[in-house]
Structure 1
Amino acid sequence: MELVNRTYLHLRVDVHSWIRTQYRSLQTPSCSPLSYWVLIAI
């Protein structure tokens, strides 16, 4: 179970990093609420 938790945590970090990268590359106001909700949901 510990391994699963660790894997999930790494996955979360990867997703967060990816979202931040996408958000920076887009820099579009219309995308910010979507990114915000995705971050909250994860």
Structure 2
Amino acid sequence: GLENNLVPHWDAANEQSVKLALKLGYSNPKTWEVYFYKSE
């Protein structure tokens, strides 16, 4: 955890997850594009 200089990250897939992360004390949320591969 934090005592070992490790920083937890929250992978938020939607706005509700971002809001929960902020409420739990996570900071600096970032956005990125996600691609899904669907095999046939």
TM-score scaled by length of structure 2: 0.34
Greater gyration radius: 2
Bigger relative CO (Cα 8 Å, ≥ 6 apart)? 1
TM-score w.r.t. the length of structure 1 is 0.33
Greater helix content = 1
